[in-house]
Amino acid sequence: MSINKVAIITGSSRGIGAEVAKLFAENGYAVCINYISNDLAAEKIKSEILQKGGRCISVKADVSNSSDVIRLFTTVDLELGPVSVLVNNAGILKTQCRLEEITEARFIEVLKTNVMSCFLCSKEAVKRMSTKNGGAGGTIVNVSSGASKSGSPNEYIDYAASKGAVDTLTRGLALEVAAEGIRVNAVRPGLIYTEMHASGGEPNRVERLKSKIPLQRGGDPKEVAEAIFWLATEKSSFVTGGFIDPAGGL
Ligand code: NAP
């Protein structure tokens, strides 16, 4: 059990993030649930954690917006204490289409939500965690996607490109802060059963594509949460700048 450790999980009202929040709470971490609009979903996860005796707050904040991110981190400083784990999980995708149909506004929104959020949250985390700044160290786990390697042709090249940027950010930041007590790693999930696929216009996308997955099935968000948890904790103490692909072999 990790007494006095604090984890911020962005986008944790639903899907993968919600499972990550529950797993950290079960392992003794004080958890900050973050979300952008779904109050009901965030409240449900928070009460589940509190009912089991965990420590948990929820902060509604758009992590692609710098003033929201600063408010998120200062709230955690005041209510839970110094952050030791940041999971950059919040992410979006838009309706499946070819590149010609992607608007400039959509491309910017996807990049802001999926990449700028990692940059802004990591910046606040490093300020607090770095031993160079008097911090106690910590870990950052970015939630990228198998799309960073496949490129998602005919579906969402904008989303895939944003995850490529997350991979590069992971590697660069890991090397930049390695000597300051901070490890930075990423997971690149494959097809996971969450509501995200409905945003792409195909709620049953995992069912349609599961026969193409070597393990012949889609992934459970809990299976991704386990990989994130491992990367965030002492179990992976010699791993930084690395990637785990919970993708069934894809
Ligand atoms: P999801 O079920 O759609 O949940 C998305 C979460 O992100 C929600 O909690 C949502 O909050 C939050 N969110 C969205 N924009 C936000 C913002 N600007 N600020 C704060 N929170 C925001 O998604 P998921 O499938 O669990 O995906 C989680 C991560 O895994 C994403 O980065 C995604 O790209 C990645 N991933 C997913 C899959 C997959 O197959 N599902 C595969 C590869 C990678 P609200 O509830 O308030 O809307």
Say which CATH number the domain at 212 has.
3.40.50.720
Asked whether residue 113 is assigned to any structural domain, the reply reads yes
Instruction: Indicate whether residue 189 lines ligand 1 (CB < 6 A).
Output: yes
Q: What is the pLDDT of residue 3?
A: 63
Give residue 225 CA to ligand 1 midpoint distance, Å. 13
Q: Is 56 helix (H, G, I), strand (E, B) or coil?
A: strand
Asked whether residue 180 is assigned to any structural domain, the reply reads yes
Alpha carbon distance 231, 180 (integer Å): 17
Number of domains in the chain: 1
**Dihedral class, residue 249 (left if φ above 0, else alpha if ψ from -120 to 50, else beta):** left
Structural domain that includes position 205 = 6-240
**Residue 226, both tokens:** 């386990």
pLDDT tens per residue across span 48-94: 999 999 999 999 999 999 999 999 999 999 999 999 999 999 999 99
Of the candidates 29, 156, 159, 193, the residue annotated as catalytic is: 159
Asked whether residue 245 is assigned to any structural domain, the reply reads no
Asked whether residue 199 is assigned to any structural domain, the reply reads yes
Asked whether residue 249 is assigned to any structural domain, the reply reads no
Quick check: 41 pLDDT over 80? yes
Quick check: 1 pLDDT over 80? no
Q: What is the pLDDT of residue 173?
A: 98
Asked whether residue 156 is assigned to any structural domain, the reply reads yes
pLDDT tens per residue across span 230-242: 999 999 999 999 9
Q: Which atom of ligand 1 is nearest to the CA of 65?
A: 18
Nearest to 122 by CA among 77, 166, 58, 80: 166
Say what percent of the chain tops pLDDT 70. 99
Asked whether residue 32 is assigned to any structural domain, the reply reads yes
Give residue 6 CA to ligand 1 midpoint distance, Å. 21
Asked whether residue 246 is assigned to any structural domain, the reply reads no
Is pTM beyond 0.95? Reply is yes
